[in-house]
Amino acid sequence: MTGQVLGEPCGGAHTDENAAIRINVGGFKKRLQSDTLSRFPETRLARLLHCQSKESILELCDDYDDTEKEFYFDRNPALFPYVLNFYNTGRLHVMAELCIFSFSQEIEYWGINEFFIDSCCSSSYHCRKMDQDREDWDDRSDEGSTTSSFDELLEFYNDASKFDKQLFGSARRRIWLMLDNPGYSVASRIISILSILVVLGSIATMCMNSMSEFSLLDSEGQPTEDPRFESVEHFGIGWFTLELVARFVVAPDLLHFFDHPLNVIDLVSILPFYLTLLINLVVESSPALANLGRVAQVLRLMRIFRILKLARHSTGLRSLGATLRNSYKEVGLLLLYLAVGVSFFSVMAYTVEKEDNEDLTTIPACWWWATVSMTTVGYGDVVPVSIAGKLTASACILAGILVVVLPITLIFNKFSLFYKRQKQLEIAMRSCDFDEGIKEVPSVNLRNYYAHKVKSLMASLSNMSRSSPSEQSLNESIH
């Protein structure tokens, strides 16, 4: 190390327990004894004692004055007395007026572990740090919600502005708003209610058609569809087709119409009917292709996807879709936990029950039992009979509760965020007025976002400029 007592940069390290090094922390200068620093060899200042070249020195400090033999650190000088007090006493103390975030970053830079915080300050420090993390999460959630809502609102206005240059743009824009925004006007609410009733009616007829009480037989004894249900089905298909065609005709951008997930759902809800109709025509014209009739039966089951059309009229369903789309990590974590738990407890159940229980004689059979138990469904079709098996089942159920609850909390927090964002976006869209063309984008409340940024900036400036009264007691140990 460079310096009179520590040797030259290119030479070997010169150890002297009575040596001292000169440091400059943001203008705060101090001479520190090497034996004091060497008590904590993992800290940044102690690592300076073992540097043998100027390059290694500059990896630990911001600058080095070879003439004055002084190490310079571009850090907050107001917080450095706490570091000095740590070297003198071996313990860290945290004053109440300190910013926990800045203090945590500072001790991390100097290589001091939070373990050295004294017992008198440790409890309050960790509590304040957890509160700060929680506030930061809330602020980030609010900022993300505001930013995302503002971006979506700008996209909405960008789409609405495209009608100004199109033929019959004003009329098409009113129809577009009426069809795509259920709460925009009285007419849009009526259309939304009618669409919901048609969806529910279509699903109800599909369910009733599967019941033996409503089944009919043709002259050959083969089951056939009730004409009443068939009429409801045709009316629903006609309504859904009319909706999709109308939205496509008045869409501001035809090329990107199916980029929207809800438009894809509208297409999928009617596509099985037309494919089934086409397959039936082919089968009637070519009896050799009779096996295609089974494909038609499968396509008829796809009518259940019509229930997803309710997402266009439900804020909660749209928020749920956005949550699942942005929570793939949490969902993957949940599936991983379940897979590990099912694998472990299925082997345990197989080991203790294979001789006494005919239902648990193979590990794959135990997978079903472990899955039902860990998800707390508990069908009761397969149960352990031995004492060891019941104890294993109890542990499996308790583990399942913990496994399911932990990721669900994260997913619920995201759902709350997306639901709040969706409600803000809907309120902003419903307040739009395009009767006289687009003049300006309505304002979005960004007060909380900017207030948080200003508050953080002022707190940082305050920490830089002021010296807290509590530091006077620390200065006694410094000087």
| Cα(2)–Cα(5) distance, integer angstroms | 8
Q: What is the 3-state secondary structure (H, E, C) of 349-394?
A: HHHHHCCCCHHHCCHHHHHHHHHHHHCCCCCCCCCCCCHHHHHHHH
Mean pLDDT check: name the lowest of 220-234, 284-298, 300-314, 380-394. 284-298
pLDDT bin (cut points 50, 70, 90) of residue 434 is low
Pick 150 or 445 by higher pLDDT: 150
**In the chain, count of helices (H) and strands (E)?**
17, 6
Query: Domain 316-429 carries which CATH code?
Result: 1.10.287.70
Q: Are 52 and 10 in contact (CB under 8 A)?
A: yes
pLDDT bin (cut points 50, 70, 90) of residue 133 is low
Which amino acid type is present at position 399? A
| Cα(400)–Cα(369) distance, integer angstroms | 12
Domain 165-312 CATH superfamily: Voltage-gated potassium channels. Chain C (1.20.120.350)
pLDDT bin (cut points 50, 70, 90) of residue 391 is very high
pLDDT at residue 294, rounded to an integer: 67
Give the pLDDT confidence of 261-309 residue by residue, as tens digits. 888 888 888 888 888 888 777 767 766 555 666 666 677 777 777 888 8
- C-alpha separations of 272 from 260, 277, 310 in Å: 20, 8, 18
- Checking if the pLDDT of 386 tops 60, the result is yes
pLDDT averaged over every residue in the chain: 75
Which amino acid type is present at position 386? S
* Percent of the chain scoring above 70 in pLDDT: 75
| Cα(479)–Cα(470) distance, integer angstroms | 15
* Percent of the chain scoring above 90 in pLDDT: 3
Q: Are 258 and 264 in contact (CB under 8 A)?
A: yes
Beta bridge partners of 29: 24
Per DSSP, 73 falls in state E
Structural domain boundaries of the chain?
18-139, 165-312, 316-429
- Checking if the pLDDT of 246 tops 70, the result is yes
* Structure-block tokens of residue 161: 């502005």
- Checking if the pLDDT of 194 tops 50, the result is yes
- C-alpha separations of 38 from 26, 41, 44, 436, 471 in Å: 23, 5, 11, 76, 25
Phi, psi values for residue 281, rounded to 5°: -65, -40
- Checking if the pLDDT of 83 tops 50, the result is yes
Pick 193 or 209 by higher pLDDT: 193
Domain 18-139 CATH superfamily: Potassium Channel Kv1.1; Chain A (3.30.710.10)
Pick 367 or 307 by higher pLDDT: 367
Q: Are 365 and 359 in contact (CB under 8 A)?
A: yes
Radius of gyration of the chain (CA): 35
pLDDT at residue 344, rounded to an integer: 92
